[in-house]
């Protein structure tokens, strides 16, 4: 499947932390006394994904961005960082848009509309 927009994040942000939100705070400190792989398994385990690498569970903020892009007509998906290589060849070339969390919805819509037209000049 070809996605126009692929949304991803680093392992510490996309993990469900074994369903215990306070385990996520462990990812902010170094792995003292444990090998890093064990530390990451404890603090930020890999999420369950489908065959395209889309996580079954994803952070609410990423799902909101995905839903808005889908609503606006973009074929988009959230993809686990370990599976992003599967989509690099098929992702359509779109301008890079940096969104700040503090932007309100109308400002985001204006940024997307103006950025998506820039490549037509």
What pLDDT score was predicted for residue 99?
41
What pLDDT score was predicted for residue 112?
54
Phi, psi for residue 36 in degrees, rounded to 5: -60, -35
Residue 36 CA, chain-centre distance (Å), reads 22
58 three-state secondary structure: coil
22 three-state secondary structure: helix
CA dist 48 and 31 (Å) reads 24
Q: Per-domain residue ranges for the chain?
A: 5-94
What pLDDT score was predicted for residue 113?
53
61 three-state secondary structure: helix
Contacts of 22 (CB under 8 A, 6+ apart): none
Phi, psi for residue 70 in degrees, rounded to 5: -65, -40
CA dist 45 and 67 (Å) reads 25
What pLDDT score was predicted for residue 94?
47
Specify the pTM: 0.67
Q: Quick check: 31 and 102 in contact, CB under 8 A?
A: no
Residue ranges for the chain with pLDDT beneath 50: 94-104, 116-121
pLDDT per residue over 50-75, tens digit each? 998 899 988 888 899 889 989 988 88
């Amino acid at each position: 499947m070809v996605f126009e927009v692929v949304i991803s994040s680093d392992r510490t942000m996309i993990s469900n932390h074994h369903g215990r939100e306070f385990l996520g705070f462990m990812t902010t400190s170094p792995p003292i006394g444990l090998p890093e792989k064990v530390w990451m398994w404890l603090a930020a385990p890999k999420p369950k994904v489908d065959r395209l690498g889309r996580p079954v569970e994803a952070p609410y903020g990423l799902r909101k961005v995905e839903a808005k892009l889908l609503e606006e007509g973009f074929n988009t998906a959230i993809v686990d960082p370990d599976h992003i290589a599967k989509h690099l060849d098929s992702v359509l070339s779109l301008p890079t848009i940096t969104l700040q969390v503090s932007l309100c919805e109308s400002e985001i819509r204006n940024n997307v509309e103006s950025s998506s037209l820039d490549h037509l000049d």
